[in-house]
Amino acid sequence: MPVTLFWLALGAFCIGTEMFVIAPLLPAMAADLDVSVATAGQLVTVAALTYAIGSPVLATLTGSRERKSLLVATLLAFALTAALAALVRSFAELVAAKVLLALAAGLFMPSANSVGALLVAPERRARAIAAITGGLTVAVAFGVPLGAWIGSFSSWRTAYALVGASGL
């Protein structure tokens, strides 16, 4: 398999970690930003809706763009936004950051799968897409527990800053 698939899977890992690490960090986020856990939980809804609506729209708008530079720009935007999320001062700012993160994720994942499928012979396309999507699985298995552990001894902000750094 091409080494590019590894990098695409690593990008998927970073995105998956950010998407799912929020669950164990919600109580700390709520306390820090002075909102209820239920209100903080709306971050998940906002991100999911943004991803679901934004992904096909962004794919249509960027369909004619060169994929490599688009993937690099999207992952860079994701990493910087995750790092900035660690610096927010209000819940509204965190909501805005989650919207931007979901848009970046919604553009990266389909683009990564598309590029990955084109890198290999037709009979290996399913395997290539599985390798990239496997980054999400590894994020759930290892990234989320690691992020929760970091959040438990440091803060949710540290976990987000590290997710941002890992995307670079």
pLDDT tens, position by position, 57-108 = 999 999 889 989 999 999 999 999 999 999 999 999 999 999 999 999 999 9
Is 2's pLDDT higher than 90?
no
Q: Which CATH superfamily is domain 3-167 in?
A: MFS general substrate transporter like domains (1.20.1250.20)
What is residue 86's predicted lDDT score, i.e. its pLDDT?
A: 95
Residues in the chain: 168
Looking at residue 17, its amino acid is T
Mean pLDDT of 136-146: 96
pLDDT tens, position by position, 9-52 = 999 999 999 999 999 999 999 999 999 999 999 999 999 999 99
DSSP 8-class letter at 121: -
Write down the H helix ranges in the chain: 3-33, 37-61, 67-85, 91-118, 125-138, 144-153, 156-167
